[in-house]
A and B are shown apart, each in its own frame.
Chain A
Amino acid sequence: MSDQAGEQAAGQQPAAQQDMTGAKSLWATLAAHGVDTVFGYPGGAIMPVYDALTFYPEVRHVLCRHEQGAIHAAEGFAKATGRLGVCMATSGPGATNLVTGLADAMMDSVPLLAITGNVARHLIGTDAFQEADITGITLPITKHNYVVQDPDDLPRIVAEAIRIATSGRPGPVLVDIPKDVQLAAFGGEIVMPQAEPARMEPRPEAISAALELLRSAQRPVLMVGGGAQGATAEITEFARAWQIPTITTLMGLGGFPASDPLWLGMPGMHGSVAANNAISEADVLIGIGMRFDDRVTGRVKDFARRAQIIHVDLDAAEIGKIVHTQVSVRADAATAARALTKSAVPYLHPDWTRQIAEWKARDAAQTPQTWGAGYAVKAVTDRLRPDDILTTDVGQHQMLAAQLARFEKPRRWLTSGGLGTMGFGFPAGIGAAMAEPGVTSIVIAGDGGFQMTSQEFATLTKYSVNNVKICIINNSYLGMVRQWQELFHGKRYSEVYLGDSNPDFLKLAGAYNIEGFRATNETELPAAIDAWLAHPRSALLEIVVPQEHGVFPMVPAGAALYEMIETDPTDRQNQGEQVNK
C-alpha cells in the first residue's frame, strides 16, 4: 500500500490500474457498477480476487462465517434496497454452499450476482482439488451463468451478468472465474454500466381488454405479488381509484399499505378469511406481479372459481402457466398499473363491500388473545415502525408474522417465499441491516431454523452491526412439520422434537458477545421486548412458547381456498380463551 501512495503522489497511475489482472478487473468493474458491499468467504481458488480486493478500498467486503450466510445476507441486502446483491465464494465446497441461496434467489426473483473461483483452466474437468462443475450444478437455479475463459472478457461478462440479474424479472447470475484467469495479465477495457433498459409498456389492446373486464366487474379483487414491490405507488393509486379490495401475497406484503381499508391480507394456505373468500367469490380477479404459486391457489381447478382473470406480469412464461387467464398483460407492474388507472371508474357495489367487511370481522376475531406463539409474534410485530425491516425463516413463525405484521411500505418484509429456506432470516437480516444502518432489522426465527445459520452472530460482532434484533420463537419443535403431523399424520410426531437438545440461546449469543433476553410468559414479555429493543446494540430475544400450537386459518394441501380450516380444530386456543374469560 505504501507503493500505491508513493506512486499516486508522483502523478502516475494508481497501483490498482498497474499490473492489471483479471482479478483487479473484476473489482474495477464491480466498483464501476456501484457495487459497494460484497458478502463472501475466501478460499484457495479465489485468493487472487481477495488479494486484488486490497487495492479497492471503495468496496466493502463482509466476511461471513459460512457461504450460505454470505449469500442470504446478499439476498437481504438486495431485497431491502432493490439493488444488486453480491456474494463471493471459492471453488468446490465454497461454491456448492451457495446453491441454497441461488435457488432461493431464483424462486423469489432476487437480483443477485455470485462470483465463484474455480480451478485453473487446464485443470477443469480433471477432478482437481476443490473442483466442482458449479455452472452445471447451478444451471437450473440461476437466471444465467458464465465461466470466464478469457481474462480480457471478464468485465464484459460481469457487466452483462449484472444487467441480466437486475433487468426484466430479476434473478441470480453466477460468474465462475478460473484461478489462472484471475491471475492473468489483463489487457481489456473496464466496461461501464449502461443506461437502465426502459420499463416494458403494456400493449394498448391488452389494457383496453383489461379495462373492459374491470368495468364489468361486480365483485373485483386485486392480488399484488412480489413483482410489484417496485410499483407500490402506482398500484395503490390504481386500487384506490377503482376501489378494488386488495390482497397482497406472501412476497407482496408491503406492496399495498396494510392500513388501507381496501386491504384484505394475505391469500393462500395460511391466508386470511377475507382474502381466500374474496378470491373464491370474485367475478374479476386481477393479479399483478404474482405467479399463482400452489401455496396461493390451493386446488387450482377451484381457484377463483367464479372469476375471469387478468394477469399482469413481466415474465411471459408466468402468464397461463398455472391458471387460465382471460386477459394477459405482459408489462412492468408500474407501467401497467398506471395505464389501468387512467380511465378508472370507482367501483361501488355495496353488497360486495358488505360481504368483505363481514369476512374481515372474522379475521379480526382471530387475533391471538391468549399466550402462545401467535401472541408472542403479535407482541413483537406490533412494535414495528414503518421503516423497520422484518425478516423471517420458514415455518409457523413465518406464517404468523405474515398474518400479524402490518406493513405500510414495500421491501420491509424479507422472507424466503418460493424455496422456503430455513436459516434465511438471520443472515438476510444482517445483510439488510448493513444496507440500511439507520433502520432496525428485526429477525423472527424459530428455534429450528435459527440453528441453521446461527454462526452469523460472528458477523454481527465482527462488523459491530448494532441494528439487528433477533427474536427466536422457541416451541422446542419444528412447529410447522409438527402441525402437519398432528393434522394429517395421526399425531405421529416423527423426528420433530428439538427441545431435548436445543442450546441455551442466550448463552449461544453470549458466546459471541451478543446480549440476550428471555420471556416465558405474557407477564414477562412486554418488559423483555422493551429491554431487547432498547439495547444499544444488536440483541437476542428468546420467547419460550407452548410446544403445541397451530397456525390457522389453514387450507390443507390439495383443498380449495374456500375449504379452509378457519380455527384450530383441536380447539386448544378456544378452550384457553374460554377458561380465561
Chain B
Amino acid sequence: MTGHSVQAEQDHLVSVIVRDEPKVLTRITALFGRRAYNIRSLSVGSTENPGVSRMTFVVTGNRGIVEQAMKQLEKLIDVVHVIDHSLEKFVDRELVLVKVLISNDTRVEVRHIAEDFRARIVDVGRHALTFEVTGDEGKITAFIEQMRPFGILETMRTGRVALTRGSNADIPSHVYHEGESAALRPTSMAVAPREQEAQTVENLF
C-alpha cells in the first residue's frame, strides 16, 4: 500500500516561481538531495517581476515521487507557486551550444545538417563550428546524434524551460505584491490535490 504507484520512472517537467531570497536555490536543491529526488536539469532565471525568479526542473521518478517533490516544494516559504506542466498544455524549449569538429571534407555536410535543424552558427573556427540550436528535447537530441559522427568537441545545454500555453499567467499578479511569501498566502490559492487530476493525464510527456 505504498503511496508511490508502480508506474515506471519518467521525466516530469515542473516549474517553480520563487522569491529572490538568499539561499533559495540551496533550499530547493537541498530539498531534492535530502529526500533523494533526482533532478535531470534545472534552469533558473529572473522574471518580469522584480524579486521573483522562475525555475524549470526536469525531475526523474515515478508519479508518486514527483507528487511528493512538488508538495515538499510547496512547503518552502520562498516558493510562491509550483506549476505541474503535466496538467496543462505547455511550450518548452531548450538551448544547446554544440561545437562540432570539421574538416574540408565535412564542412559542407555539417552546415547542411545544421540548416535542416535551423541551427545558427555562433562561432567559426579553423577546425570547428559552434552551433546554437533551440527546440524541444527531441530536436536537440536528434541534432546531437546527427553531429556525433563528425566529432563533437563539447556541448552545453541550458536545460528545459517551460511556460503554460494560452493567455493565463501561471500565477495571479497579486501574489507578487509586497513579496508575499507562500506561507502567508490565502488558503484558496492552495493547490488542490493533484493525484486525481494527474490520473487523467495519460502521457506526461
Listed in ascending order, the chain A residues whose CB lies under 8 Å from chain B are 135-136, 139-140, 143-144, 147, 160, 163-164, 167-168, 197-198, 200-201, 203, 300-305, 309, 315-317, 319-325, 328, 330
Known: A301-B2, A304-B1. Is A317-B75 also a contact (CB below 8 A)? Answer: yes
* A322 to B23 alpha-carbon distance, docked (Å): 29
Q: Please name the residue on chain A nearest to B73 by beta carbon.
A: A317
Q: Please name the residue on chain B nearest to A319 by beta carbon.
A: B193
Query: Count the A-B residue pairs with Cβ separation under 8 angstroms: how many?
Result: 74
Task: Give the residues in chain A near B72, CB-CB below 8 Å.
Answer: 317
* A305 to B2 alpha-carbon distance, docked (Å): 11
On whether the beta carbons of B3 and A321 are closer than 8 Å, the reply is: yes
Distance of B32 from chain A, by nearest CB (Å): 11
* A330 to B2 alpha-carbon distance, docked (Å): 19
On whether the beta carbons of A316 and B190 are closer than 8 Å, the reply is: yes
Query: Is B187 on the interface with A (CB-CB < 8 A)?
Result: yes
Task: Give the residues in chain B near A147, CB-CB below 8 Å.
Answer: 22
Task: Give the residues in chain B near A321, CB-CB below 8 Å.
Answer: 3, 68, 71
On whether the beta carbons of A324 and B26 are closer than 8 Å, the reply is: no
* A360 to B187 alpha-carbon distance, docked (Å): 42
* A202 to B27 alpha-carbon distance, docked (Å): 30
Q: Which of B3, B71, B192 is packed against the most chain A CB atoms within 10 Å?
A: B3
Q: Which of B1, B71, B76, B187 is packed against the most chain A CB atoms within 10 Å?
A: B1
Distance of A172 from chain B, by nearest CB (Å): 13
Task: Give the residues in chain B near A164, CB-CB below 8 Å.
Answer: 77, 183
Q: Please name the residue on chain A nearest to B194 by beta carbon.
A: A316
On whether the beta carbons of A315 and B193 are closer than 8 Å, the reply is: no
8 contacts between A and B (CB under 8 A): A139-B23, A139-B30, A144-B78, A164-B77, A203-B192, A301-B2, A316-B191, A320-B67
Q: Please name the residue on chain B nearest to A169 by beta carbon.
A: B75
Task: Give the residues in chain A near B192, CB-CB below 8 Å.
Answer: 203
Task: Give the residues in chain A near B27, CB-CB below 8 Å.
Answer: 139
On whether the beta carbons of A163 and B184 are closer than 8 Å, the reply is: yes
On whether the beta carbons of B193 and A316 are closer than 8 Å, the reply is: yes
Distance of B66 from chain A, by nearest CB (Å): 12
On whether the beta carbons of A136 and B187 are closer than 8 Å, the reply is: no
Known: A139-B30, A144-B183, A330-B190. Is A316-B71 also a contact (CB below 8 A)? Answer: yes
Task: Give the residues in chain B near A163, CB-CB below 8 Å.
Answer: 183-184
* A315 to B184 alpha-carbon distance, docked (Å): 15
Distance of A18 from chain B, by nearest CB (Å): 30
Query: Of residues 22 to 71 in B, which have CB atoms within 8 Å of A's CB atoms?
Result: 22-23, 26-27, 30-31, 34, 64, 67-68, 71
Distance of B202 from chain A, by nearest CB (Å): 20
Task: Give the residues in chain A near B1, CB-CB below 8 Å.
Answer: 300-305, 309, 323-324
How many residues belonging to B are interface residues under a CB distance threshold of 8 Å?
A: 29
Q: Which of A201, A300, A316 is packed against the most chain B CB atoms within 10 Å?
A: A316
Distance of A389 from chain B, by nearest CB (Å): 30
* A203 to B27 alpha-carbon distance, docked (Å): 31
On whether the beta carbons of A136 and B26 are closer than 8 Å, the reply is: yes
Q: Please name the residue on chain A nearest to B193 by beta carbon.
A: A328
Q: Which of A168, A303, A321, A325 is packed against the most chain B CB atoms within 10 Å?
A: A321
Of A140, A197, A203, the residue contacting B34 (CB under 8 A) is: A140
On whether the beta carbons of A317 and B2 are closer than 8 Å, the reply is: no
Distance of A560 from chain B, by nearest CB (Å): 11
Can you add 8 more A-B contacts, CB < 8 Å, to A164-B77, A198-B187, A317-B72? Answer: A139-B23, A140-B30, A144-B183, A167-B183, A197-B184, A317-B75, A319-B193, A322-B2
Task: Give the residues in chain B near A200, CB-CB below 8 Å.
Answer: 187, 190
* A197 to B74 alpha-carbon distance, docked (Å): 18
Task: Give the residues in chain B near A320, CB-CB below 8 Å.
Answer: 3, 64, 67-68, 195
Distance of B29 from chain A, by nearest CB (Å): 10
Task: Give the residues in chain B near A317, CB-CB below 8 Å.
Answer: 68, 71-72, 74-75
Of B3, B23, B74, B193, the residue contacting A135 (CB under 8 A) is: B23
Task: Give the residues in chain A near B30, CB-CB below 8 Å.
Answer: 139-140
Task: Give the residues in chain A near B31, CB-CB below 8 Å.
Answer: 140
On whether the beta carbons of B23 and A144 are closer than 8 Å, the reply is: no
Q: Please name the residue on chain A nearest to B26 by beta carbon.
A: A139
* A302 to B2 alpha-carbon distance, docked (Å): 10
Distance of A175 from chain B, by nearest CB (Å): 13
